[in-house]
Structure 1
Amino acid sequence: MQARTPAPADDPGPAKVGRAEAARWSGALDLLKLVRSRPGVTRAEAARAMHVGSGTATEISARLRALGLLAEAPAPPTGRGRPTTTLHAHPDGPLAAVVDLRFADWVVAIADLEGTLVDTTTGRHASKRPERVFADIRAAVGELAGRYDDRVQAVSISATGTVRRNAIVQSSVLGWRDLEVEPLLPGVPQALGNDATLAGLAEARLSHPGRSVLFLTIEVGIGGIFVDEGHAVTGATGAGGEFGHAPLGDPLVACPCGALGCWDVAVDGRAVARLRGEAEPEDPRAYLIEALVDPGSRAAVEECAAVLGRGTAGLVNILDPEIVCLGGLAPELRRAAREPFEDAYGNGLMGFRRDDPPRVLPSALGPDAPILGAAEAAWDMILTENGIAAWTERHAE
């Protein structure tokens, strides 16, 4: 066996070099994530938040600036002391392509590090056939990404349906089952998520950072997710959070998912129509919007609001959130029949929770929540050692 030559005294050795390089990447990722959550943070504030010295923060930001990942601008003067700079997305830095696939239409956008949707295009489904829908979306993603050379580093899709790994295993509203979603941009990492899951992720991270949030949204059916300190609890395969298919509705009513008594068909426009003795509406969302202001639908709306409140209480008892956030048409349903909702919610809570129940708040992000959540998922892929290394290799070419 050949003897090893001792390293010089001033040579840190490969192990120490590896640890030092890992630490440098860790600091860089920490700073990028901080700028993503707090665009315009000053370099001095960043140093304090990262618990590093000003020299280290300066060195990290300089490296990221040289790699086209961050930009700096002079901070407004605040009095005596050294001037500092504010940190922002680099104007030529990495981007994400994000998709919101909905019941009747879709949105495609480009998202930068700061969460800004810098380019957007929309389209309606000419057909519900999945190959036609995704052909249109793929063309839109390719066209938008082509405007930015090779800067798009991730694709993320929010889909109205149950998602498991890289497939839409069931979308009752679109009539799809077991649909594998092929890459929209060849060679670019891609994520697929349920629309309610991603909307809840965005609401929790952007509106209630660091809190445990139960998010519920009504569109066609009800969906949601529990987000604990910025992490969506989606289970072993990503299909978790299908609250709409908990047996919280009428056990005699069949759901398109194949189960009986789903909450999904007990709180939306389909439920209002059924309670009124009418046929299932072609557009349950539009039907519910009209029913909320129709005096003839009052009793049905109150029943749906009570079912929403009762189910919400059950999930609060199970998950113990700090905040309940209602998205989609859920805030409007609660507002239209507040007393039935509040009575059912309060009566459904365990006794010890009633003195200080979690606040029930409307969505702060509105209809943009799913696509903003898709952006969060995309940047979760980009802001990794592998993601930044891939950008660095391209930037060095």
Structure 2
Amino acid sequence: MRQNNLASVLDVLRRESVTRSALVASTGLTRSTMAGLVAELAELGLIDEITPVATGRPGRPSPLVRLVPGAVAALAIDVSVTRLSVGLVGLDGRTISVSERDGDRSNESPHATADAVAEMAQRIGVGSDSCPLLVGAGVAVPGLVRERDAHVVVAPNLGWEDVAFAELVAGTIERRLGVCLSVDIGNEADLGALAEARFGVGRGTRNVVYIHGDIGVGGSIVVDGARFPGGSGYAGEVGHMVINPYGSPCRCGARGCWETEVGERALLTRAGLDPTGGSAAIDALVEGAVSGDPIVLAALGETGRWLGIGLAGLINVLDPDLFVLGGMFEPLLPFMSECLEAELMERRFGPVERTVPVVAAELGIDALLIGAAELVLARAMADPAGAVTFGG
């Protein structure tokens, strides 16, 4: 019971700093119980109380209970085809430090990637005295992940099949940095959805479909605040629904998958840019759109049209409350929205009015790191005392 109560208090504080009275109201616990819980969490070094800035109103403002910044963190790893990011993420869902490395990773082996992760982790302080207490590591990958043994079943755009990447990362970090961490792994879109649902634009929305755009396109379905996994745990692979039977071959082996029409390489090709240009090419695309380049705007319009076609089908099948577009779609959505919305209107299901807002993700490039960290932090904070006592 006490463990659950400690977790309930931390769950509130992970979203915002509040007074003890607000904690009592949020959790339904008594004031005396709350006093003991606050004292225990403070002794663990997880929270403290601060006096807020005076507002000019009569009376002394009540102290705010807050998370101690940087006291506890997770090591977060985002493995994408064109970028590798490694960061430390705190309990409040904010990145403390991040190391990034751009470049095409489609031909890099899992072992080489794990070595790069360890090197970048050392760069941000893992293994040093200045590092926060780490309760574990989380990894986001663009592929199917088998939860029972943390294997990457297949990541087509990385060229990986049946890779025990979580085990590989844990072993490499222990060997090279002398730090023993438990490592969890998840699909990038699922983790982006997790981050946006807890800390981003999806807060408070029950049924959300999150779409992540990169070289590949992934999705995640959130129902009543929890991910819908499907029968085998692989639900949400919307990038591989066939949307153009006469379209281009996909790296998954099929033809005309959604990602062959709305993925990064298809978009850059339409815009006359290097399809392997990665994040730098996407930045150039945004600059071209802002400056009104007609070729860029036409490419974005066509991509928005294909996005709308796919989203219309998902509305008819899933009937969500909200679509959240992340990854490269986040900065590009304003330039695609007109064509996207036109397709949604054109493809409405008969006379039924099912308007679903389509919004950009809020957390930007850090979303996958935050989601990867949440894999670890949410589990660790279910038993705060154990997590702090035993670390990762």
Q: TM-score, normalised by structure 2?
A: 0.83
Q: 1:201 aligns with which of 171, 176, 194?
A: 194
> Does the alignment pair 1:243 with 2:238?
yes
**In the superposition, relative to structure 1, how do residues 329 and 343 fare at CA in structure 2: closer, same or farther (>3 Å)?**
same
> Does the alignment pair 1:132 with 2:112?
yes
- Tell me the SS of whatever aligns to 1:118: strand
> Does the alignment pair 1:146 with 2:127?
yes
| Cα distance in 1, alignment partners of residues 256 and 278 from structure 2 | 18
| Cα distance in 1, alignment partners of residues 217 and 79 from structure 2 | 16
CA drift of 1:145 comes to: 2.3
Letter matched to residue 177 of structure 1 = E
Letter matched to residue 346 of structure 1 = M
**In the superposition, relative to structure 1, how do residues 99 and 350 fare at CA in structure 2: closer, same or farther (>3 Å)?**
same
- Which residue is equivalent to 1:161? 143
Give the 4+ runs in structure 1 shifted more than 6 A: 77-83, 273-276
Please tell me whether Structure 1 or Structure 2 has the larger radius of gyration of its CA atoms. Answer: 1
- Which residue is equivalent to 1:19? none
Compare relative contact order (CA 8 Å, sep 6+) and give the higher one, 1 or 2. 2
- Tell me the SS of whatever aligns to 2:308: helix
| 8 Å CA contact 2:75, 2:86 repeated in 1 | yes
Moved more, 282-291 or 300-309: 282-291
| 8 Å CA contact 1:203, 1:364 repeated in 2 | yes
- Which residue is equivalent to 2:379? 381
Letter matched to residue 74 of structure 1 = T
- Which residue is equivalent to 1:190? 183
CA drift of 1:241 comes to: 1.4
Count of residues in Structure 1 that have an aligned counterpart in Structure 2: 369
**In the superposition, relative to structure 1, how do residues 84 and 24 fare at CA in structure 2: closer, same or farther (>3 Å)?**
farther
| 8 Å CA contact 2:44, 2:385 repeated in 1 | no
CA drift of 1:262 comes to: 0.8
| 8 Å CA contact 2:4, 2:382 repeated in 1 | no
CA drift of 1:112 comes to: 1.7
| 8 Å CA contact 1:89, 1:112 repeated in 2 | no
- Which residue is equivalent to 1:106? 84
- Which residue is equivalent to 2:31? 54
Moved more, 251-260 or 44-53: 251-260
- Tell me the SS of whatever aligns to 1:122: strand
After TM superposition, the structure 1 = structure 2 runs for residues 39-78 of structure 1, keeping only pairs within 5 Å, are 40-75=17-52
Q: 1:257 aligns with which of 252, 261, 270?
A: 252
After TM superposition, the structure 1 = structure 2 runs for residues 262-341 of structure 1, keeping only pairs within 5 Å, are 262-272=257-267, 281-283=275-277, 290=285, 294-296=293-295, 300-331=299-330, 333-341=332-340
Deviations 1:268-303 (A, max 9, x none): 343346769x89833366556538564346555433
| Cα distance in 2, alignment partners of residues 304 and 126 from structure 1 | 23
Letter matched to residue 130 of structure 1 = P
Structure 1, unmatched stretches of 5+, are: 1-22
| Cα distance in 1, alignment partners of residues 231 and 317 from structure 2 | 19
**In the superposition, relative to structure 1, how do residues 43 and 362 fare at CA in structure 2: closer, same or farther (>3 Å)?**
same
| 8 Å CA contact 1:334, 1:341 repeated in 2 | no
- Tell me the SS of whatever aligns to 1:153: strand
Moved more, 65-74 or 367-376: 65-74
- Overall identity of the aligned pairs, in %: 27
Deviations 1:295-340 (A, max 9, x none): 3465554332211101111112222221111223325554334433
Moved more, 234-243 or 321-330: 234-243
| Cα distance in 1, alignment partners of residues 12 and 127 from structure 2 | 28
| 8 Å CA contact 1:219, 1:285 repeated in 2 | no
Q: TM-score, normalised by structure 1?
A: 0.82
CA drift of 1:203 comes to: 1.4
- Tell me the SS of whatever aligns to 1:266: helix
Structure 2, unmatched stretches of 5+, are: 175-179
- Which residue is equivalent to 1:234? 229
Letter matched to residue 334 of structure 2 = R
**In the superposition, relative to structure 1, how do residues 371 and 348 fare at CA in structure 2: closer, same or farther (>3 Å)?**
same
- Which residue is equivalent to 2:177? none
Letter matched to residue 178 of structure 1 = D
- Which residue is equivalent to 1:115? 93
Cα RMSD of the aligned pairs, angstroms, is 3.1
- Tell me the SS of whatever aligns to 1:146: coil
After TM superposition, the structure 1 = structure 2 runs for residues 11-50 of structure 1, keeping only pairs within 5 Å, are 23-38=1-16, 40-50=17-27
